[in-house]
Structure 1
Amino acid sequence: MLEKARAQGIRHGYFTRVGGVSSGIYQGLNIGTGSSDDQTQVAENRRRVADWMGVPSTHLLTAHQIHSPDVVIAREPFPGERPRADAIVTDRPGIAVGASTADCGPVLFADVEARIIGAAHAGWKGALSGVLENTIAAMEGLGARRERIVAVLGPSIGPENYEVGAEFVARFVEADANNIRYFAPSAKSGHAMFDLNLYTVDRLSRAGVTADGLSRCTYAEEDLFYSYRRTTHRNEPDYGRQISAIVLETE
């Protein structure tokens, strides 16, 4: 994983829903500013995450995520509204960059030697449209080298719980015929089970970085993770978000 980075002044965390102050359907560490949760509780949850990361709350940065391939470079806290993007990279110590998720894949990146880090929100749409490769390219623009970059996919929905329709499969196969390998038969006629985890890790590997994944399913592990799909299946009105974050520690 990112053990080498941790030993060289790069702190990271794939946070669960445990340890927060939110209640009800948001029970736990909901950091979702886009949720309908009490925003004072969300702010306290984010403060707790920032405290663990060793930064002020103002220096825990997440973007306004839109399922895009877009990446921003952060060298200071965002002034005003958060940028609309799905990945953030930085070369500045004390700036924690993160991705908020509730089934989509959070990917943390680090080039230990260059001391450049990144965090990407990679759902199927972002992964298919290139957010992972764009994050790597943005890191290279700051001086990283892709052969030194380690990228690790955090908790996301597992293939046994990600059922999709025929149009979804067709979209991926049209992009690359080899993508059919990421789909398995479903018990429901005309549907398939999609392996977002394997697809994400394979795209990272093909991009030339060292890639791995935690293989933790947000849908199945309800005590630990929020899940958009689980909420949808239960007809609940909203859902929380967990965060994965990384920071260059100040010397």
Structure 2
Amino acid sequence: MRGTDTSIGTIRGVGLGPGDADLMSVRAHRMLSGARHVAYFRKEGRAGRARGIVEGLLRPDAIEFAMEYPVTTEIALSDPGYNAALSAFYANCTAHLQGLAEAGEDVVVLCEGDPFFYGSFMHLYMRLKDVVPVQVVPAITGMSAAWTATGQPITWGDDVLSVLMATLPEADLSRHIEAADALVIMKIGRNIEKVRRALRNAGKYDAAWLVEYASMEGQSVLRLAEAEGRVTPYFSIVLVHGQGRRP
């Protein structure tokens, strides 16, 4: 973060929590309700989930900057074009936000969940933090809302919790699943069958839960084994609760 020059604006990555506006922090609400410039990520042609969370909370004259991903799932993560497209995208977004800050404007960047937990804002943060002032407002994560929705604690005593991406190779998923006491598996979507196989390989399939849209409209909580053949949305989390030491 650069100096204390009061003529420079501040970029604020504001965590909105898992999706329910009532779970937003007081600090986040205060910052976004007073923001003149508001930026957020979205898919092309979509309103944007982060923007939807704050509907009705922004000031009427807020200037919005929608950052539309050039790709999401259209090409494989391993395709060199994927990183190239996203790198150029983040560079363009950074330049726009930096320009606003250098003109003395503060900007709130809306972040689903927590900004530092698998969020797109991290890519802006790393490009901006040594150039203009940047602040981060933490928030409740989507996985916290998911395990709360099951009505069961996720960890007990000395349980080891692993957070996995369903985009991992199946062999890696199986290895991590087998080693952990409690599990959170994110980014499910089209990877659901791979996740099922990995859980079965590790002997934990029958203990797994599927939570869709945790804390959002349309929330669904059920045993993964009861969701055979179900098409799972991207905002799905698979959980296996720990069964560790307790008094």
TM-score (norm 1): 0.34
Larger RCO of the pair (alpha carbons < 8 Å, separation 6+): 1
Bigger CA radius of gyration? 2
TM-score (norm 2): 0.34
